[in-house]
Each structure stands twice: as C-alpha cells, then as structure tokens.
Amino acid sequence: MTEVTASELVAIAEGRGAVAVGIADAAPFPEVTAELQARVDAGLSGGLGFTFRDPVRAGDVRATHPWARRFVAVAVPYPMTAPVGEGAVVARFAVGDAYASLRRCLTAVADRLRRAGHRAEAIADDAALVDRAVAVRAGVGWWGKSTMVLVPGLGPWVVLGAVVTDAALPTTEPMRRECGRCVACLPACPTGALVAPGVLDARRCLAAVLQRPGTIPVELRAAVGARLYGCDDCLVACPPGRRALARAAPVAAHDVIGILGADDRSLLVRFGHFYLPGRNLRTLRRNALVVAGNVLGRDRVAIVAGFLGYPDPLLRSHAAWAVGRIGGRVARAALRHALRSERDPGVRDEIESARGREVPVRAPAASTLPDMGSTSSGASTRDGAAGS
Ligand code: SF4
Ligand code: SF4
C-alpha cells in the first residue's frame, strides 16, 4: 500500500483526458437540496426524475456513502462536431459516448485511491447526485446562467463526474469567475426554457423533453425541429465555448427514415449510449416521428403513415401529428383511413386534430409559446438533459 497525494491524482486524471480537476469536501449541499425541492414544488421539474426524485439524497452524498470525506471532481471534454446535411440531429455530447471516457478517467483515479487503502467510488452520469454543484465547489468551473458548469477554455463542452472517497485530501478553492454581463444563452433557447439567469423550466427544455417518457407536448413539437436527442442551442451561444466549437468536425445528420425503419438491435448499436430507461426504444422512435414531421417532404409521408398502424398508441399518436404536419393528399387519406379503425381515444384526438391542420405550421418563436409556469430564483441543474 502506497500513500497517494492530490497532485498524483490530478496527474492521473489529466493523463486520462481531464481538462480540469479539483477536490472538494463531501459535506452536504443544503442550498442545492432547497433549490431542487423548490423547483419540484413549483412544478418546474417537468416530471423529470433524476435529482428531482430525491432532492435530499441528491444534495448529500453521505446519504448513500456515509464514509465520504472528499470528492475528486473532473471535467472531461468530448469531440466537437458540427452536423451537416438534412436529417435528425443529436446533441454533441451524445454523438459518441462521452461518458465512457469520463468513466475511464474516474476509474483510474478511484483505483489509485483504493491501492492506497482508501474507499473510493466513481460517480459518473449518476442522476442521483448533483455533479455540477460538486464541480463548482471543487473549482472545476463556474455556474453559467445557462445552468451549465463552464470550464475555462471549453465553456460548457465537457461532461462532469467525481470520485467520492474517504481520503482526507487537501481541498481546492471554488473558481472566482462568473458570466458577467453576458446573457447570450437566454434568448438562444428556442422554447424560452431559460426563464431567468440560472433558472431552467425543465417542462419546456427540449433536451429534457426528448428524454422524458410519454407524450411530447403538442405545443413543443414544432420547436423540436430536427433534434432526435438533446439540444445544444444554449451551449452554442455561450462565448466561453466558442473556441472549442470552432474546432468542430463535420458529422452527417441521421437519416430519419432509416431510424424509423430500423429494428431494435440496430438502433441499440447506434444509440444504446443514450438515456433509454429499460433499453426501451419507444422514446427514440417517438422523437424520430416528431423529427420526421418537421423535416420530411410530402413524398416521404407514406413511410411515416405506416406508424399509424403501430401497436404502441404513443407512436400512433405522434405519427398522426407528423403525418398531419407534413400534410398533402396522401397524408389526408392515411389519417382518414386510420380514424376508421382507431379505438384509442387519445390517438383518435390526435388524428382528428391532425386532420384539422390543413396547412403545416412552422416552428413558433419562443415568445408565441404558452406561458408554462412561473419562475423561481437561484441556481438550477438540467439533470442529465445536456450532458453533464
Ligand atoms: S438545452 Fe435547448 S431547450 Fe434546453 S435550455 Fe438549452 S437551448 Fe433551451
Ligand atoms: S451564454 Fe453567457 S450568460 Fe450564458 S452561460 Fe454562457 S457565458 Fe454565461
């Protein structure tokens, strides 16, 4: 057994790709628990589980790791990409498996701590803990008004994680930086989900909406645009991240028809690193149908209409919306035909409403979206919705 120093752990993390490393006390985050609870009470969690499921546990690692004394927090960047061509788009953190490299980095740190006789556990993409608050306390980055943690040189283009340990390591100071007068992320949001600096209404954040199971609210479907998974708009607008963004490599958008036609096995090979509860692909197919409604022309409507006979009513209802949005003679005939045999009242409503939509609507500006709730103040987290 060999003793381990903080600088050795930093070197190990940096050797595995970390761009920022810090050490924080593992004391609770009462302000985070209070903020999460306030947002749940105000309805701003949008039904998301993640840290909202148990705000006390999310703000206190000792609830699950009573021996915890320190966090070794890290930020790991992921390759910058720029989507090209027409089709479905995936947020940059999910183009590859950003969390795989983060886990490798954290595992190396945890292994070294254990070799020194300490308890240590890697926490990556564990929605039960507020990894952003840990990163800020450890000085890995600062809270942006977008609710993302911003890291010098990379801005929001990182994934965050930590090793929790019982080692009494020296702690590092929080960063003395903030966004200053910049507010670029707020108007950049296509749905107005950033309702105030640092306050996210998860009900209308597209990154959250596309992860959440169930029906995508009708009033948000046009704003989904070509997004299959995740949303990068507030990150793209963020000046501290622009240098990283300038190094983006082009990546072809996904063929949405190909996704709709693919079987489970091939979808899991391509998208198995997405957050898909129970490895169930219905949210991915639901998203693809909404994208199809937004991006496909009338010559492709028959393929989308095929989902009007799908066994899952969730997909039938989103298919009805997509077919209605694409519009045209074939769409009208398909909806009329589907209505004759449809028994599910919710799907029938969707078909009726799609039939009533003669002219496809375009994405509404944020200001035209309905007011979906009041705001609260203070820092907030996006909870797995945007990659860290
Ligand atoms: S991820 Fe997209 S929808 Fe969510 S706050 Fe950022 S810009 Fe808005
Ligand atoms: S866009 Fe500006 S205000 Fe928003 S997080 Fe980035 S630096 Fe902060």
pLDDT tens for 268-290 read 999 999 988 778 899 999 999 99
* Shortest-distance Cα residue to atom 3 of ligand 2: 183
- 231 CA distance to ligand 1 centroid (A)? 6
What does residue 287 show for φ and ψ, rounded to 5 degrees? -60, -40
* Shortest-distance Cα residue to atom 4 of ligand 2: 185
pLDDT tens for 319-364 read 999 999 999 999 999 999 999 999 999 999 999 999 987 544 444 4
- 380 CA distance to ligand 1 centroid (A)? 13
Q: How far is it, in rounded angstroms, from Cα 84 to Cα 82?
A: 6
CA-to-CA separations, 59 to 2, 158, 203, in angstroms, rounded: 32, 21, 22
Other Cβ atoms closer than 10 A to 66: 8
Other Cβ atoms closer than 10 A to 226: 18
- 367 CA distance to ligand 2 centroid (A)? 20
- List CB contacts of 251: < 8 A, sequence separation 6 or more: 81, 82, 83, 84, 95
- 364 CA distance to ligand 1 centroid (A)? 15
Q: Could you tell me the end-to-end alpha-carbon distance of the chain, in angstroms, rounded to an integer?
A: 34
- 194 CA distance to ligand 2 centroid (A)? 11
pLDDT at position 91 over 90: yes
pLDDT at position 379:
28
- Share above pLDDT 70 across residues of the chain, in percent, rounded to a whole number: 88
- 39 CA distance to ligand 2 centroid (A)? 21
What are residue 162's DSSP bridge partners? 73, 123
Report the Cα 292 to chain-centroid distance in Å.
Answer: 21
* Shortest-distance Cα residue to atom 8 of ligand 1: 189
Ligand 2, from 181, 183, 195, 388: best to mutate by most atoms within 8 Å of Cβ? Answer: 183
pLDDT at position 2 over 80: no
CB 354 within 8 A of CB 293: no
Place of tokens 């949405």: 256
Ligand 2, from 154, 178, 182, 194: best to mutate by most atoms within 8 Å of Cβ? Answer: 182
What does residue 63 show for φ and ψ, rounded to 5 degrees? -65, -30
Task: Using a cut of 0.85, tell me whether the model's pTM lies above it.
Answer: yes
Specify the ligand 2 atom closest to the Cα of 241: 6
Ligand 2, from 132, 143, 146, 183: best to mutate by most atoms within 8 Å of Cβ? Answer: 146
